[in-house]
Structure 1
Amino acid sequence: MQATWLVAEREVRMKLRSRSFLISTAITMLAILLGIVIGGIVGANPTQPKIAAVGSAIAVVTETGAFDVVEAATVAEAEDLVRSETVEAAVVPGSGGSGSDAAVSGIKVIGLDSAPNNVIAALSQAPEVTLLEPSDQDAGILYLVAIGFGLVFFMSALTFGLTIAQSVVEEKQTRIVEILMSTVPVRVLLAGKIVGNSILAFGQILLIALVAGVGLLVTGQDILLADIGPSLVWFVVFFAFGFVLLSSLFAAAAALVSRQEDMGTVTSPIMMLVMIPYFLVILFFDNPLVLGIMSYVPFSAPVGMTMRVFLGTAEWWEPLLSLGILAAATVGFVAIGSRIYANGLLRMGTRMKLAEALKG
């Protein structure tokens, strides 16, 4: 344990000394905070179409509450406002019309070069709508939450997974690994790399959660914060196992090569395993079938099951079952990864074949 912690401490210290890592982390935090603040401001102050209204049409458009109304004395004045593009359209008394005029019951909507469909839709009488299974969450909120979970998983796993791979190849290329292996066992070296980068990854996730929480509280979106809290806890738990699984694969893949130029060929399949859940959760964030399948696949469970917990579609036992499958898969992949890592670490020159690394 002491040797593992020494290796982990070395990994953390080297990463924290990297100016590019610190700058990219700061930019990420700032982008998240600005996104939440801007979203809160836009949500609290939605923009309304600006239109001109004349006579009896003023009461009609005001009653809808959907417009920023500019009162005009005459129809000609309202038309001048439309031509100067001061307003999007004009609503005047009367019916019928031709050309750029769009008829609405009892009033007339005047547009510039095309019918202002957003104004017409707001003035039209909407039919009564009945939902058989109403959703508790807004579709826009669901999409943003899906992007959030998918992006955090994608960025953290990819950033720190590639860090482990680069570290392994660099140590092989510079022959430092021979000195390290004379001091600590190979599996301790691998465990230290995984532990060190796991600490960095969790630290970044907690920092993201803290910044997002502060942003939601400051902008008055505490209701969303309360809704997302339980799913965020599950995300951290699932990410812990998923990151260890992926880290062992990145380290094992990097041990097959001896040059940084060759690293892309062996890490590309693992990068695909990280990217696929990200795209799936964005495209199918409200699809119960796709999310259900993702929940039980080890590489996508941190995102798929977390989204189902947020949606409230997962039974109480499903996260536990999914976590058990992920934990078992993590143990298996770590065992395989450590064997490949140990057998390929001292192999120099050409790329080592996977079958040869497994055989030893």
Structure 2
Amino acid sequence: MSAGTGTPTAPPAGGQAPFRTAVRLVARREFTERIRDRGFLVSVAVMLVILLAAVAIPAMASKGGSDDFDVAFGPGPAQQPLSRLAPVQAKLLDVEVAVKTFPDAAAAEKAVRDGDLDAYVADGHIVVHRDLSDKLAAVLQSAYATVERDARLAAQGIDTAAVDRAVQVAPLEKTTLDKDADERNQRKGVAILGTIMLYGMLMLFCMWVANGVVEEKSSRIVEILLAAVPARALLTGKVIGIGLLGLLQMALTAAVGLTAAKAFGTIDLNSAMVYPAALVVVWFVIGYALYACMFAAAASRVSRMEDLQNVITPMSTLLIASFFIAISFGQNGGTLATVLAYVPPFSAMLQPMLTASGDLAVWQNLVAAGLAGLALVGLMAAAARMYEGAVLRTGGKVSVKDAWGTGN
């Protein structure tokens, strides 16, 4: 084989396995080697930890912000109406106020300092340790205003009971035109988290493909492999083997994420929630196939790891741009997001997001998948040609023109 970017010496073809057999052998080799790799196991563990944290922390935070409060009121007849009215006012604000009793002000203030009491009300003051909850403040201020109003009206000889009946007006009822708003927000949450995971895993596994190509080329192992399998079979098997590993991780991530979200009460697990998660997995397969072909073809042009980043920058930039477009525009739809949702490879990121938002139907998912499939056929042919034309050339970076012109 010649060095540099000269014409490569073709490996002997007499002992090469049939295409399908070769693809299966290479895919099995890639899968078994990678799944035993410590780096893969660490990446799986880190991904699951991040996912569980993303699900658990908001759920625990929402539960931590309890709307149940313990309040004590000072002695004296003026405080008794306030202690009776505060729990009633609290229910109007979906808050629970439990009235506690203490022998004197010193004991009540000690309970406040110790954290056993949220507030102590006496002599026109609300005593707290550090902070007063906005909800509790609203309850106590409203109750105090009502008690003071009744006292002043009574002092003027006005029937406070009649006034109370006059101001007791039923609150306005809420009518929601979008009955699926809550469910859609949950679907969006699933899609956003899924898109973040999708981006991370696409970048990770496509980099694995690119690194594998350069490693085989720099160590000249590829020459030995090409003596046994065709170049296209080697490329196809590598993409499939690593892709199956990624699919396994993505499916595991989706299953663990949905189960954790259900356990923490973050979402109501039903078919409407499962579909966005399943769509993320499906579009991982499609998106990975598209990007992996591009990463592999680009990586075949260099023989050193130091040069890899330079040739894959356009693909990495495209993947990053797809992610930011999905996060920035996918949640609210719009012309740009809707159009790009049908354009490969942008569709891999935008389809799950727009579907979760209710902007795309199943038939539109199928149309986008069909367009991506057509693009993949052409992309695989182009990537295979460049791979064949560049993978046996060592030395400096192979130009696109030279790699394309020497394809068989």
**TM-score, structure 1 normalization:** 0.81
In structure 2, do the counterparts of structure 1 residues 86 and 232 end up closer, same or farther at CA, with 3 Å as the change threshold? closer
Specify the alignment match of 2:10 in structure 1.
Answer: none
Q: Which runs of 5+ in 2 are unaligned?
A: 1-19, 74-80, 100-118, 151-169
Alpha-carbon contact 1:52-1:78 (below 8 Å) kept: no
Specify the alignment match of 1:297 in structure 2.
Answer: 343
Q: Could you tell me how far 1:321 is from its partner in structure 2?
A: 1.2
Whether 2:242 is the aligned partner of 1:242: answer: no
Alpha-carbon contact 2:184-2:357 (below 8 Å) kept: no
CA distance in structure 2 between the aligned counterparts of 1:52 and 1:218, rounded to whole angstroms = 33
Q: Could you tell me how far 1:260 is from its partner in structure 2?
A: 0.2
Amino acid at match of 1:354: V
Whether 2:196 is the aligned partner of 1:151: answer: yes
Alpha-carbon contact 1:294-1:304 (below 8 Å) kept: yes
In structure 2, do the counterparts of structure 1 residues 329 and 68 end up closer, same or farther at CA, with 3 Å as the change threshold? same
In structure 2, do the counterparts of structure 1 residues 70 and 223 end up closer, same or farther at CA, with 3 Å as the change threshold? closer
Trace 1:279-294 onto structure 2 (pairs within 5 A).
279-289=324-334, 290-294=336-340
CA distance in structure 2 between the aligned counterparts of 1:285 and 1:158, rounded to whole angstroms = 20
Query: What is the RMSD computed on CA atoms of the aligned residues?
Result: 3.1
Alpha-carbon contact 1:61-1:69 (below 8 Å) kept: no
In structure 2, do the counterparts of structure 1 residues 65 and 230 end up closer, same or farther at CA, with 3 Å as the change threshold? same
Alpha-carbon contact 1:143-1:285 (below 8 Å) kept: no
Alpha-carbon contact 1:49-1:66 (below 8 Å) kept: no
Q: Could you tell me how far 1:231 is from its partner in structure 2?
A: 2.8
Identity across the alignment (%): 28
Specify the alignment match of 2:369 in structure 1.
Answer: 323
Whether 2:209 is the aligned partner of 1:164: answer: yes
In structure 2, do the counterparts of structure 1 residues 335 and 128 end up closer, same or farther at CA, with 3 Å as the change threshold? same
Whether 2:392 is the aligned partner of 1:346: answer: yes
Specify the alignment match of 1:191 in structure 2.
Answer: 236
Instruction: Tell me the SS of whatever aligns to 1:351.
Output: coil
Q: Which moved more, 1:291-300 or 1:152-161?
A: 291-300
Alpha-carbon contact 1:11-1:193 (below 8 Å) kept: yes
Cα deviation code 1:254-298 (max 9, x no counterpart): 011111001001111111222222222222243222441232011
Amino acid at match of 1:192: G
**TM-score, structure 2 normalization:** 0.72
In structure 2, do the counterparts of structure 1 residues 333 and 297 end up closer, same or farther at CA, with 3 Å as the change threshold? same
CA distance in structure 2 between the aligned counterparts of 1:140 and 1:322, rounded to whole angstroms = 23
CA distance in structure 1 between the aligned counterparts of 2:281 and 2:87, rounded to whole angstroms = 53
CA distance in structure 2 between the aligned counterparts of 1:36 and 1:74, rounded to whole angstroms = 38
CA distance in structure 2 between the aligned counterparts of 1:165 and 1:225, rounded to whole angstroms = 38
In structure 2, do the counterparts of structure 1 residues 49 and 270 end up closer, same or farther at CA, with 3 Å as the change threshold? farther
Q: Which moved more, 1:324-333 or 1:21-30?
A: 21-30
Q: Could you tell me how far 1:249 is from its partner in structure 2?
A: 0.6
Residue number among 77, 80, 91 corresponding to 2:127 in the alignment: 80
CA distance in structure 2 between the aligned counterparts of 1:161 and 1:73, rounded to whole angstroms = 61
Alpha-carbon contact 1:213-1:225 (below 8 Å) kept: no
Q: Could you tell me how far 1:46 is from its partner in structure 2?
A: 4.6
Residue number among 4, 17, 42 corresponding to 1:23 in the alignment: 42
Alpha-carbon contact 2:287-2:345 (below 8 Å) kept: yes
Specify the alignment match of 1:216 in structure 2.
Answer: 261
Amino acid at match of 1:314: L
Q: Could you tell me how far 1:85 is from its partner in structure 2?
A: 1.2
Q: Which runs of 5+ in 1 are unaligned?
A: 96-102, 108-124
Which one has the largest radius of gyration?
Answer: 2
Specify the alignment match of 1:113 in structure 2.
Answer: none
Alpha-carbon contact 1:53-1:61 (below 8 Å) kept: no
Cα deviation code 1:211-231 (max 9, x no counterpart): 123323433556244322223
Specify the alignment match of 1:278 in structure 2.
Answer: 323
Residue number among 243, 252, 256 corresponding to 2:297 in the alignment: 252
Alpha-carbon contact 1:146-1:285 (below 8 Å) kept: no
CA distance in structure 2 between the aligned counterparts of 1:94 and 1:239, rounded to whole angstroms = 58
CA distance in structure 2 between the aligned counterparts of 1:135 and 1:220, rounded to whole angstroms = 18
Q: Could you tell me how far 1:53 is from its partner in structure 2?
A: 7.7
Specify the alignment match of 1:264 in structure 2.
Answer: 309
CA distance in structure 2 between the aligned counterparts of 1:39 and 1:94, rounded to whole angstroms = 34
Specify the alignment match of 1:310 in structure 2.
Answer: 356
CA distance in structure 2 between the aligned counterparts of 1:67 and 1:343, rounded to whole angstroms = 71
Instruction: Tell me the SS of whatever aligns to 1:145.
Output: helix
Whether 2:231 is the aligned partner of 1:203: answer: no
In structure 2, do the counterparts of structure 1 residues 316 and 168 end up closer, same or farther at CA, with 3 Å as the change threshold? closer
